[in-house]
Amino acid sequence: MVRNHSDQLMVRCCSITFGILTYCVLSLNTGVVAQEIDALAKQLSSVDLNERRDAAYALADAGPEALPAIQQLAQALEDQDAQVWFQSITAIGKLGPDAIGAAKQVVAHLNSDSQQRRYRAAWCLSSIGCKALPLISESLTDASVRHREAAMLAIGSMGDSCGEEAAKLLGAAAHDQNLEVALAAVKSMVGRKNADLLSDVLLDPREELIEAAAKGLSTLTEIPTSANNLLIRQSESDNVAVRAAAISAMSNAKIDQANLEEILSKNLQSAHPSITNAVILLLKRNQGSPFLVHAVCTGLQSEDPDVRSETAQILASSAVGSEVAEQALLQSLSRSTSDTSKIIDAITRMGDHMAEALLAHESQSDELDRKLALAIAALDQSVIPQLLAALKSDRSFVSARAANALAAMDSLTTEVIDELVNCLDHPIAEVRVACLKALRGQEKLPTGVIDKVHALAGSGDPLTMMAAISVLAQVDPLSERSSLIFDRVSRDSRPELRKALLDGMVKNVSLVDHYSDFLGYSLSDPSPVIRLAAVNVLVSREKCLPPFQEQIFRLVHDDSSEIRSAAVEAISFVDEKTPVLAEQIAHIFPIADQIMLVQLLEVLTQFAKTASGQFGDVASYLSHESAEVRSAAIICLTGIAAEPIDAIQVILPMLKDSDGIVRKDAAQSLGSFESAAKAAVPSLFLMLQSEIDEDAARGALRSIDDAGPEALDVLLPGLDSDDRRIRFYAMFLIGKIGPQAKPAIPKLESMLTETESGRFRETIQQAIDRIKSE
């Protein structure tokens, strides 16, 4: 299948729009009289810029009426002002072939420095039309690359109307030794009637040209037969971009199925996004042809997980509705182990009807089970009836997955809750647990249901009991019956049940007050699972109450790194941040690993000046081998320093750190000290020249908003920088130095006369005024 007719026209139009199509659409032809045109023509050479601009705008609006002003318009192409130039060349272009008298001046602008001007000059020449062709052709001898490029644009834009002569020029330019010129010629061939010109380019040895020609061919609804074999050959190129362009072009070529199948199977062996994109396009343009989909599906059998993922991506983007693709994806899911996410994602994108297949898929791992349930939950709510039916399935894994999917859904209706409640009597524990989990998200449950949950909490099956405890902690935490159950659980020898109660305390803070003793001895429990769950209760409450502080400090030395980390986090929630506590934290530094060290430094930062006694300890970490630790130390020192100068002195050298993030943090920290950190200005100014450091340095310099005389040596050369921003900061900061920056005056004064920018003028003048202010 090919694109419809209107699309073909559109693509052609997009390639070539210059010429007679619409050149006067923006004109507000006001029917200006000849005298007015004369006056406007004279006004074009006025010394007043606004008058010249007004005249140029008016002449551009006048359309063909502006013909008497053609000479002045041609001269106005020498005007230094961009607006006068653009309006003048627009006015010339709107005169069409009658503007041939100005063509020579316009041709000269094909060599402009500005791409916009070259483009507009090319448009103007294309408006003048074939009459300008000899002038353009003559100008090509010894012309610069950009001139030749723009000339190709002009010729291409003239379309087919200039016949063989234009085609010959483009054909010759396509063999230009300069790649840019040849590329411009090839791009200008797109949209012409004679597509053979593009086919010929496929024989050129230069890959960039082949790619451009193939892209050009892909815009056609029908590709010349002569190009078919060449495209097949290019689909085997070593160059990925060429291969991708060739495959894209094939979407409109008459290539037999066997060839296409081979091309796809070879190309799908590399998981390259360009190829993926080209194949998606091929499928989209062929509206998911079963043959093509089948060929693409072979990628799902690859040994390479990346290839399988990219293939899944292709099918999800372009083969929705294809049963072949759906089946292939499901089979692939059975074979895959590590790359299931992309395949599941592709399956869900095939539509909500895939819910059934996702429910029925037999999984070998809990992880895949979880992913499948989440994928089903992400489908439309219209799949809920299917899920409810699945709750009653003979296969327990199907019922459990349906319940897990319901558990992951946002809000459940009464009907769904009723079905989940019925499911609590399911003979298989796995299903009961999934249904309990689904009910856990509810704020309230009817009394009858709670009774059932109470019963399950004492059922004897640990998995069911854990899930029931979790539900009760949320919906019925303080009833007498629940309290009895929780009391029993808190003394139970099975850690998983005690953990369920602690997890319940995370969800429902009111339980903490009732079971604080249990929480206390859980912090010292022999089982690491329980100790971690207990610390997490404190962390979730964002409170580290005094009775637990001693235990928490002990847990900082725990064997489990996870517990140590949670303990440090809990310490950050200690209400009263005293110097003694700060000292205790600093004592942990020597035994802390890198991750914990960063955490401890972050905690200490919250102590602000209360921790100033630890300044020396923290400063020693500025030379730590880990950049993260160095960054955390900088931020900590900024917060705890008794006096800004203490921190500034030690942080300043960090602006030269080997790590970009550390430099950024150092710059931001120094900026926070505002004017007190003006000693940092020379280093920060030098950082402006680095792309990585520029943002941070700029922010810091603005915050410091000051500079001392020692910065002058660094700032002065900045006034000559090619970078506008560096010049700006140099003049701005020199002004801040004040009278001691006198050596900068001559340069600043000359800049004042030269600059066109009002903002620059204002800044320079302020700088000069400050320096002269004594």
Partner 1 sequence: MISTNKANRREILRGIGLSIGLPWMESLASAAEVSPDTGIDSPRRMAFLFVPNGVHLPDWTPQRSGYGYDLPHILQPLSKVQEDVLVISGLTHDKGRANGDGPGDHARSASVFLTGSQPRKTNGSDIRSGVSVDQVASRLGGKQTRFSSLELGCEPGRSAGNCDSGYSCAYSSNISWSSESTPVGKETNPRFAFERLFGSGTVKEQDQQAEKRRILKQSILDFVLEDARSLQARLGKNDQQKLEEYLTGVREVERRIELSAHADEQQYELDYPVPNGIPGDYAEHIRLMCDMMVLAFQTDRTRIATFMLADAGSNRSYRNINVPDGHHDLSHHRGDANKHAKIREINRFHVQQLAYFLERLKQTKDGPSGSLLDHSMICYGSAISDGDRHNNENLPVVLAGRGGGSIDSGRHIRVENETPMCNLFMSMLERFGTPVDFIGDSTGCLPSLTI
Cα–Cα distance between 516 and 679 in angstroms, integer? Answer: 53
Provide the token pair at 21.
């199509």
- Separation in Å, CA 502 to CA 430, 464, 523: 22, 16, 11
Provide the token pair at 414.
């009464």
User: Least distance in Å: CB of 450 to partner 1?
Assistant: 35
Q: Does 459 bind partner 1 (CB under 8 A)?
A: no
Instruction: Name the residue nearer to partner 1 (CB basis): 281 or 711.
Output: 281
User: Least distance in Å: CB of 274 to partner 1?
Assistant: 7
User: Least distance in Å: CB of 247 to partner 1?
Assistant: 10
User: Least distance in Å: CB of 7 to partner 1?
Assistant: 6
Residue 32: phi and psi, rounded to 5, are -65, 145
User: Least distance in Å: CB of 539 to partner 1?
Assistant: 22
Q: CB neighbours (10 Å) of residue 445? A: 19
- Sign, CA torsion 91/93/98/101: positive
| x/- map, 247-266, partner 1, by CB under 8 A | -x------------------
Provide the token pair at 616.
């020396």
Instruction: Name the residue nearer to partner 1 (CB basis): 481 or 761.
Output: 761
Cα–Cα distance between 122 and 559 in angstroms, integer? Answer: 75
User: Least distance in Å: CB of 562 to partner 1?
Assistant: 27
Instruction: Name the residue nearer to partner 1 (CB basis): 187 or 498.
Output: 187
User: Least distance in Å: CB of 173 to partner 1?
Assistant: 17
- Separation in Å, CA 707 to CA 644, 650, 728: 17, 19, 14
CA 297 to chain centre: 29
User: Least distance in Å: CB of 272 to partner 1?
Assistant: 10
Q: Does 19 bind partner 1 (CB under 8 A)?
A: yes
Q: Does 10 bind partner 1 (CB under 8 A)?
A: yes
Residue bearing tokens 């989209």: 284
Stretch that binds partner 1, among 259-267, 367-375, 401-409, 750-758 (CB under 8 A): 750-758
- Separation in Å, CA 721 to CA 476, 655, 706: 71, 22, 21
Cα–Cα distance between 475 and 647 in angstroms, integer? Answer: 52
Instruction: Name the residue nearer to partner 1 (CB basis): 187 or 452.
Output: 187
Cα–Cα distance between 312 and 467 in angstroms, integer? Answer: 36
One-letter-per-residue 3-state SS of 423-464: HCCCCCHHHHHHHHHHHHCCCCCCHHHHHHHHHHHCCCCHHH
Stretch that binds partner 1, among 6-14, 439-447, 621-629, 638-646 (CB under 8 A): 6-14
Cα–Cα distance between 566 and 599 in angstroms, integer? Answer: 10
Closest CA to 614 of 581, 644, 645: 581
> Could you give the residue ranges of the DSSP H alpha helices within 16-101?
34-43, 49-62, 70-76, 82-94
Considering only residues 145 through 174, tell me which ones interact with partner 1, judged by CB under 8 A: 153
Contact residue for partner 1 among 43, 111, 219, 311 (CB under 8 A): 219
User: Least distance in Å: CB of 535 to partner 1?
Assistant: 28
User: Least distance in Å: CB of 26 to partner 1?
Assistant: 6
Provide the token pair at 687.
């950082």
Cβ(671)–Cβ(703) below 8 Å: yes
Q: Does 313 bind partner 1 (CB under 8 A)?
A: yes
Cα–Cα distance between 495 and 489 in angstroms, integer? Answer: 9
Considering only residues 640 through 669, tell me which ones interact with partner 1, judged by CB under 8 A: 664, 668
Contact residue for partner 1 among 2, 11, 39, 108 (CB under 8 A): 11
Q: Does 723 bind partner 1 (CB under 8 A)?
A: no
Q: Residues binding partner 1: what is the number (CB under 8 A)?
A: 64
Stretch that binds partner 1, among 538-546, 607-615, 698-706, 735-743 (CB under 8 A): 698-706
Contact residue for partner 1 among 206, 698, 747, 770 (CB under 8 A): 698
User: Least distance in Å: CB of 53 to partner 1?
Assistant: 8
Cα–Cα distance between 250 and 312 in angstroms, integer? Answer: 21
Contact residue for partner 1 among 113, 142, 756, 774 (CB under 8 A): 756
Q: Does 759 bind partner 1 (CB under 8 A)?
A: yes
Cα–Cα distance between 585 and 570 in angstroms, integer? Answer: 12
Instruction: Name the residue nearer to partner 1 (CB basis): 553 or 760.
Output: 760
User: Least distance in Å: CB of 510 to partner 1?
Assistant: 26
Q: Does 239 bind partner 1 (CB under 8 A)?
A: no
Instruction: Name the residue nearer to partner 1 (CB basis): 4 or 178.
Output: 4
Considering only residues 73 through 102, tell me which ones interact with partner 1, judged by CB under 8 A: 82-83, 86, 93
Cα–Cα distance between 500 and 496 in angstroms, integer? Answer: 6
User: Least distance in Å: CB of 82 to partner 1?
Assistant: 7
Q: Does 311 bind partner 1 (CB under 8 A)?
A: no
Stretch that binds partner 1, among 24-32, 253-261, 587-595, 651-659 (CB under 8 A): 24-32
Q: Does 57 bind partner 1 (CB under 8 A)?
A: yes
Cβ(363)–Cβ(369) below 8 Å: yes
Stretch that binds partner 1, among 5-13, 229-237, 415-423, 536-544 (CB under 8 A): 5-13
Closest CA to 199 of 227, 162, 174: 227
Closest CA to 188 of 403, 410, 368, 16: 16
User: Least distance in Å: CB of 765 to partner 1?
Assistant: 13
Q: Does 765 bind partner 1 (CB under 8 A)?
A: no
Considering only residues 266 through 305, tell me which ones interact with partner 1, judged by CB under 8 A: 273-274, 276-278, 280-281, 284
Contact residue for partner 1 among 517, 762, 769, 772 (CB under 8 A): 762
Stretch that binds partner 1, among 25-33, 474-482, 550-558, 583-591 (CB under 8 A): 25-33
Provide the token pair at 108.
């000269």
CA Rg, the chain, in Å?
38
Instruction: Name the residue nearer to partner 1 (CB basis): 214 or 748.
Output: 214
Q: CB neighbours (10 Å) of residue 82? A: 12
Considering only residues 101 through 130, tell me which ones interact with partner 1, judged by CB under 8 A: 115-116, 119-120, 123, 127
User: Least distance in Å: CB of 315 to partner 1?
Assistant: 11
User: Least distance in Å: CB of 318 to partner 1?
Assistant: 8
Q: Does 341 bind partner 1 (CB under 8 A)?
A: no
Stretch that binds partner 1, among 324-332, 414-422, 680-688, 695-703 (CB under 8 A): 695-703
19: CB partners within 8 A, 6+ apart: 126, 127, 129, 157, 158, 159, 161
Residue bearing tokens 């302020």: 766
Cα–Cα distance between 39 and 182 in angstroms, integer? Answer: 45
Cα–Cα distance between 211 and 278 in angstroms, integer? Answer: 13
Closest CA to 482 of 462, 506, 505, 516: 505
Q: Does 15 bind partner 1 (CB under 8 A)?
A: yes
Q: Does 306 bind partner 1 (CB under 8 A)?
A: no
User: Least distance in Å: CB of 501 to partner 1?
Assistant: 34
Instruction: Name the residue nearer to partner 1 (CB basis): 311 or 572.
Output: 311
User: Least distance in Å: CB of 261 to partner 1?
Assistant: 21
Phi-psi region of 32 (alpha: psi -120 to 50; beta: other; left: phi over 0): beta
177: CB partners within 8 A, 6+ apart: none
Query: What residues make contact with partner 1 under the rule CB under 8 A?
Result: 3-7, 10-11, 13-15, 17-19, 21-23, 25-26, 28, 53, 57, 82-83, 86, 93, 115-116, 119-120, 123, 127, 153, 215, 218-219, 248, 273-274, 276-278, 280-281, 284, 313-314, 316-317, 664, 668, 671, 695-696, 698-699, 702-703, 756-762
